[in-house]
Structure 1
Amino acid sequence: MKIIALVILFVFMHAGAQDYNLVVGTYTRACDSKGLYVYDFNSATAETKLKSTSEFINNPSYLTASPDNKYIYTVNENGEKSGVTALRYTPGNGKLKSLHDKDSRGEDPCYIISNEKHVIVANYTGGTISVFERNADGSLTDAKQLVKHSGRSINNERQEKPHIHMVQFSPDKKYVFAIDLGTDKIYIYHYNPNEENKILVLKDVIVTKAGSGPRHMVFNPNGIFFYVLHELDASLTVYSWIKDKAMPIQELSIAIKDEGCKNSGGDLRFTRDGKFLYVTNRGDANTVTIFKSHANGMLNFVEELPTMGEEPRNISIDPKDNFVLIGHQKSNDIVIFKRDKTTGKLTDTTKRIRLCSPVCLIFTNNK
């Protein structure tokens, strides 16, 4: 009887489980890496298995999957030779086949997003946004639009000119947000998918605290609040987004206060239920901070803990909200934490994926 009960329990536990693909982008300049890696990921156990590796791609430091899950688009962060690679993606076996490379029209692209119509790229060193049109076969046109930022801010080493670190669609896809670390500004563009050349048209500019260096942002799943992580001072700003207007409502910090400790905001990610936000701090800190989100958008501190690696550049949460994965650029590993869905707290599973300089982690369906 006990054996039957255990079998039933096992079947019940795994009935809701689903395997996904974990696609990882890496820096190839630091150690031996092919570029992109595709893993099986079990959402019940966090077990992983390598499925496929791309042919060599130079520094695919950020990537995006097309909405139909048939194509992967990745940046090639390579100075004046930077580009964008389009790849055909077969999720069943994880195979990636390069279609072509396109000039990114700006140095060191570091973020890329896509929808049914376009691929949009943030060029960090170039201080530009490139907009590519998608063809029916998944390939890209040359850039249809190039948006150039101008200006600087008070940090002479890091803010001597524009440095666009992220582009992001609003939840309703009416706008594209561009996070400019170099000018301490967030640009909000009208997104016009049916236009030929003026696809992005400036709507508004948010001026952030001087020297803060905004890096990444994320919307709460409810779509009425967004959260901006600042790299240079490791601060976090909460904005309301109501009737297409942004209003700051809370300021927090993830900085370690110890004397001499270098802080550097890394990445942030919401759970799909919108209840918890996870934020990484790089530099000397190497921590992840957990916040509980409330209906009014405000955050409450839950806990801060070590990420168990060095330079936590990217954070991802599996589609079932069971596990938090943190990619470490310098310790060359992905650390997998188990989530408590009630408290949001994390426990180290001791599971690791060892590979060269993992800096972008995305989940896709495996079909």
Structure 2
Amino acid sequence: MVFFSCTPYARPMNTRTLVFVGCLNRAVPHFAAANGRGIVTYSFDEATGRLEFLAETADIANPTFLAAVAHRGLLYATSEIFGEPEGAVSAYRIDPMSGALALINRQPTRGSLTAFCNVDRQAEMVFVANYGHETAAETPRQQIASFAMLDNGGLSVPSSAFAHTGSGPRMDRQSVPHAHCVVSSPDNRFAIATDLGTDELVTYRTNVDCRRLESSGVPAMRMKAGAGPRHLVFHPNGVAAYVVNELDSTVCRLAYEPGNGTLSLLETVDVLPENPGAGQPADLQIAADGRFLYASIRGADVIGIYRLEEGTGKIVSASICGAGGKTPRSFALSPTGRFLLVALQDSDRLAVYRIDPTTGEPAEQVDFVAVGTPMCVKAERFDIA
């Protein structure tokens, strides 16, 4: 008699790329229109760059920023609501086949005009940045808050919250603090928050065990007065970071010290080298291989592409390409890095460009879809059993 050993058959996993677009659906005085209907989900073909509508989620007000955790099937979305003392952050379960979103829960954010959310690199907590109204007496007025991620993907009440102090020289935009983003360090020990109102980068310590942010004791890094730091990204080398400054239209390369979370300035370049000071930079992204840095520039309605030196991350050249419409507020690189998806806020459209792998530039537009007042776009790859 012969016996055969059997091993369970592991069915190979398929993957699918989904694109989520957060759209303004409630009027805000500082935005021109609110033509959206919430969060729109598309499937994305990584071979052709084509988008296909899947679903729409309308049970959220002004989802102006999104953060996805693909391996857990979760999406987090801020609500930036003018005139209310607190914004909100919502947790959704994603159906990767249908693209439908199911609300898990929603939490207030301890501050107003919630403009940004992010997830730490171990997917244990969610951070938000509250931009805040131009009213110093407003309460509560916490600029940064953290939330523990629960077992079901929902969010705890805020596990910590922090108020910034100070102002900048631009009284029209910097009379009070205006936090704009918060990003985990590559080793997840720290999180860096940008404050457009105070011209500072604030380092927080990440307590993963307690799933909260804590004060780090690290002095805030002072940017140039009136710069208005908006978004920050880290280089894959783990020791360089970049910040785009909305008010003086520059991008800075920073040295990051992993041991203590400090930052120091290495270089500053104009986002539009041929027209210094023009435009209003918005989003900032870096290619996965660290070769190119990208910035969207409103007003000029272009995408800036900055070639980076291998190893150091120094900015060695810049080129500019049209964004394909008005007000490129947000953009995303596809998971393969082959495509650039641009949310054109005041053109009510999402445009897709194929990226030239040699130059890093958008080479051709391969698709676009009409979508009302897109404020944020995220592209994530999901495993499908």
Following superposition of structure 1 onto structure 2, how do residues 288-327 of structure 1 map, counting pairs within 5 Å?
288-294=303-309, 295-327=311-343
Structure 2, unaligned runs of 5 or more: 1-13, 27-32, 133-140
Aligned to 1:49: 52
Aligned to 1:27: 24
For the 8 Å contact 1:256–1:263, the answer to whether it is kept is no
Residues 126-170 of structure 1: CA deviation (Å, up to 9, x unaligned):
451111111111111111211110110100010000000000000
> Counterpart of 1:106 in structure 2: which amino acid?
G
- Deviation, 1:112, is 0.5
Aligned partners of 1:56, 1:204: CA distance in 2, in Å? 40
> Structure 1 residue aligned with 2:112, among 100, 107, 111?
107
- Deviation, 1:62, is 0.5
For the 8 Å contact 1:153–1:184, the answer to whether it is kept is yes
Aligned partners of 1:311, 1:59: CA distance in 2, in Å? 17
Following superposition of structure 1 onto structure 2, how do residues 1-367 of structure 1 map, counting pairs within 5 Å?
19-29=16-26, 30-66=33-69, 68-79=71-82, 80=84, 81-115=86-120, 116-125=123-132, 126=141, 128-195=143-210, 199-244=214-259, 245-255=262-272, 262-283=278-299, 285-294=300-309, 295-366=311-382, 367=384
> Counterpart of 2:46 in structure 1: which amino acid?
S
Larger mean Cα displacement after TM superposition, 250-259 or 232-241: 250-259
- Deviation, 1:263, is 1.6
Aligned partners of 1:22, 1:127: CA distance in 2, in Å? 31
- Deviation, 1:55, is 3.1
Aligned to 2:7: none
For the 8 Å contact 1:228–1:236, the answer to whether it is kept is yes
> Counterpart of 2:298 in structure 1: which amino acid?
R
Q: 1:151 to 1:94 in 2, by over 3 A?
A: same
TM-score by length of 1: 0.90
Residues 265-304 of structure 1: CA deviation (Å, up to 9, x unaligned):
1111111111111112112x11111111112221122421
TM-score by length of 2: 0.86
- Deviation, 1:39, is 0.5
For the 8 Å contact 2:178–2:197, the answer to whether it is kept is yes
| SS across alignment from 1:342 | coil
Q: 1:198 to 1:338 in 2, by over 3 A?
A: closer
Determine what percentage of the aligned residue pairs are the same residue: 28
Aligned partners of 1:169, 1:196: CA distance in 2, in Å? 13
Aligned partners of 1:262, 1:251: CA distance in 2, in Å? 15
Aligned partners of 2:233, 2:211: CA distance in 1, in Å? 28
Residues 198-233 of structure 1: CA deviation (Å, up to 9, x unaligned):
644442311000001000011112212111100001
Structure 1, unaligned runs of 5 or more: 1-16
Aligned partners of 2:130, 2:285: CA distance in 1, in Å? 22
RMSD of the alignment, in Å? 2.0
Aligned partners of 1:303, 1:48: CA distance in 2, in Å? 27
| SS across alignment from 1:330 | helix
> Counterpart of 1:237 in structure 2: which amino acid?
C
Aligned partners of 1:309, 1:218: CA distance in 2, in Å? 25
Residues 171-191 of structure 1: CA deviation (Å, up to 9, x unaligned):
111001000000000001111
